Amino acid sequence: MSVKQISVFLENKPGELNGLTQVLARHHIDMRAMSLSETNEFGIARIIVDRPLDTATVLKDAGYVCTVTSVLAVDIPHVPGGLNQVLNILSEAKINLEYGYAFLGGRKDSAYMVFRVADNAAATAALRAKGIRVVDSGELETM
Residues of this chain that interact with another protein (CB under 8 A) are: 5, 7, 9-11, 37, 39, 41-42, 44, 46, 60, 63-67, 69, 98-99, 116
The nearest distance, CB 108 to another protein, in angstroms, is 31
From 61, 100, 71, 78, select the one nearest 1 (Cα to Cα): 71
Q: Name the E strands within the chain.
A: 3-11, 31-38, 42-49, 66-77, 99-103, 110-116, 134-135
Our measurement of the distance from residue 16's CA atom to the centroid of its chain's CA atoms, rounded to an integer in Å, reads 20
Q: Pick the closer one to another protein by CB: 58 or 85.
A: 58
The nearest distance, CB 27 to another protein, in angstroms, is 19
Q: Pick the closer one to another protein by CB: 89 or 112.
A: 112
The nearest distance, CB 50 to another protein, in angstroms, is 19
Facing residues of 111 across strands?
A: 76
Q: Pick the closer one to another protein by CB: 63 or 80.
A: 63
| φ/ψ (deg, to 5) at 84 | -55, -40
Q: Pick the closer one to another protein by CB: 79 or 118.
A: 118
The nearest distance, CB 55 to another protein, in angstroms, is 14
CA distance 17 to 118: 28
